[in-house]
Amino acid sequence: MERTSACRGLATLTAATALLAAGAASAHPHMWIDARAQIDIDAQQRITAVRQVWLFDEMFGAYATQGLKKGKDGSLPADTLHGMAQDWMKALGEPISHYFTRVTVGGKTAAFAAPRDARVDWNPKTTRLTLSFTLPLAEPAAPGAEGAQVDIYDPTYFVAYAFDEKGAVSLGGPQGAPCTSAYRKPKELDWKTMQQLAAIPADPDALPDELFAITKGLTHRIEVRCPPPGAQAG
């Protein structure tokens, strides 16, 4: 049940890439995203939201905009970009898919409120699309003594994220300064597993259970810690 819902969560977004990959050499992943994440902290040093920016690869951008009406400079109309943002956020919004983002505090997964500030930008020179959005927590959550974990990943390994740009992970908000964040990359896959993934067709549902169990652990983790109230005084 969880796996099926997670696969469907990005169906609208990955359909174009699946078609593209079907005509090319099969390999997982099929979509690459250069990502940025900012965790907002409020005055009570609680996590209030996760702001994200996903810059999609050129191949996806070229295919996703194929056939769309463009300006002479290659630009896309504002209403087209607005429609993309709405469609993509709806596809990502299944509760189990959780926008491929999970915030864990005290061993419990925090719920998100409705996303806001969703927008899609298009760069005709680089043929790259960018999706930006904010995921507010339904209730602000204090990291506590053990800290909080923000995980960003696609358990089907259909989408590969990278947080390689300088400052790709940051803290924001009125009380972000005293808090700290530590980013941990996913573990490296061994050659045998990579070969097995490469042999699978461009279909999220085609990932065998044993490989799904492995790729589910390929998470980009951000550890957030804040000093206890009053600790930074004096």
Check residue 159 and give its pLDDT: 79
| Domain extents in the chain | 28-187+216-225
Check residue 145 and give its pLDDT: 76
Q: Do the beta carbons of residue 190 and residue 147 sit within 8 Å?
A: no
For the chain, which ranges sit under pLDDT 70?
1-29, 94-97, 155-157, 189-218, 229-234
φ, ψ at 127 (rounded to 5°): 50, 45
CB contact set of 19 (below 8 Å; sequence gap of 6+)? 63, 202
Check residue 193 and give its pLDDT: 64
Check residue 160 and give its pLDDT: 82
Q: Which two tokens stand for residue 165?
A: 């740009």
The residue with tokens 């970009």 is 81
Q: Measured between alpha carbons, how far is 176 from 180 in angstroms, rounded to an integer?
A: 8
Q: Do the beta carbons of residue 221 and residue 150 sit within 8 Å?
A: yes
Q: Where are the alpha helices (DSSP H) in the chain?
A: 2-9, 11-22, 58-64, 78-92, 191-198, 209-215
Check residue 101 and give its pLDDT: 92
Check residue 47 and give its pLDDT: 95
CB contact set of 106 (below 8 Å; sequence gap of 6+)? 144, 146
Check residue 129 and give its pLDDT: 94
Q: Measured between alpha carbons, how far is 225 from 34 in angstroms, rounded to an integer?
A: 25
Q: Do the beta carbons of residue 31 and residue 14 sit within 8 Å?
A: yes
Q: What is the CA radius of gyration of the chain?
A: 19
Q: Do the beta carbons of residue 202 and residue 26 sit within 8 Å?
A: yes
